[in-house]
Amino acid sequence: MADPILDVDLLAFETGDATRRAAVVDGVMRSLQTGFVYTGHDLSEDLLDTAYAMLAEFFALDSETKARYTAPGTNGQRGYTGLLVETAAVADVPDWKEMLNWGRQLPAGHPLRVRYPYRYADLVLPEDILPGITELLTTFYERVFDLQVRFMRIIAVGLGCAPDYFDKMLPDGATLTRAIHYPAMDLAPDADHVWAGEHGDINLITALPRASAKGLQVKLDDGSWVDAVAPSGQVIMNSGMMLEHLTNGRIPPGIHRVVADPEDHGDRYSVVQFCHPTPWTILSPVPSTVTPENPLRYPAIAAADKLDQVLYDINLIEDGRRVD
């Protein structure tokens, strides 16, 4: 069976003629019916190598040392999140993973920091143990964010919008980068746990430049699961709930899970970046997506409120844990 997740080339969209640009737009819009698409990119492989190596050093530290980089009051948007905390909305047991989270740090007094403090808290990174990690991970964030902004222009064109439609809602957005370590399943406390349960992401699009082992699976319309393994040198992009809202359901969120191969007893590392609009953005379906065949499905909602809904569902609101 042909892979339902298509492989496109962002650079061809940016530099090709009208025919090549149209082919990329068509491929992206068709592939995103699965919620996933692979794309060529111009990220530095050296940057990826260096970042992944340093993050592996962090996760190799003992649990007490890692816990020093927890950021209370940020609901998992900054610093370290330990094992068995984040829980898929449809699950009753937490995921078997640990995470390090960071994003763009805005200056003190910025209105976004005042109004949405937990989204824009100070970075909490292990600079004292791993000198240079703050600059490295900040650069990683900026390079991947640039890629995401450019990729969103393809989607904008596919929706009949101006190419820079999404550009206007992304500056200083609550975009979050998350390094994830999935320990070997042999170490999990019981058989009910998986690396990451079935879920969709809340944001606009997620970028996954690389993973150290397979395990990411995508749920298709018929309920079956397929492995998401990008061709060498490609980035995985997947759509989130906010994009579903803005497109009146035309682009569904990519439902996925991360499960270990029963034959592979090792661990897994990945770094994902969740592209979010500025929190005060009002998410309202793009007019071109509302038709007699697809009537208006979603009322307007602030991006901040939609994020809070899902953070509670996935067990990250610190004062409202639904799973202990």
DSSP assignment of 169-213: G-TT---EEEEEEE--GGGSSSTT--SEEEE--SSSEEEEEEESS
Phi–psi pair at 178, nearest 5 degrees: -135, 115
Q: 84: which DSSP letter? A: S
Dihedral (Cα; 30, 11, 156, 44), 10-degree rounding: 100
Q: What is the pLDDT of residues 99-127, one digit of tens each?
A: 999 999 999 999 999 999 988 999 999 99
What pLDDT shows up at residue 288? Answer: 95
How far apart are alpha carbons 310 and 253 in whole angstroms? 13
Q: 250: which DSSP letter? A: S
Q: What is the pLDDT of residues 42-84, one digit of tens each?
A: 999 999 999 999 999 999 999 999 999 999 999 889 999 999 9
153 three-class SS? helix
| Positions of the chain with pLDDT lower than 50, given as ranges | none
- Residue among 164, 220, 158 nearest 29 (CA): 158
What pLDDT shows up at residue 323? Answer: 67
* Percent of the chain surpassing pLDDT 90: 84
Residues facing 218 on adjacent strands? 226, 256
Q: What is the pLDDT of residues 181-195, one digit of tens each?
A: 999 999 898 888 999
Put residue 223 in one of left, alpha, beta given phi > 0 → left and psi -120 to 50 → alpha.
left
For tokens 């905390």, the residue is: 85
Q: Which domains does the chain have, with CATH numbers?
A: 7-320 (2.60.120.330)
Per DSSP, helices labelled H in 1-91 are 10-15, 18-31, 45-59, 63-67
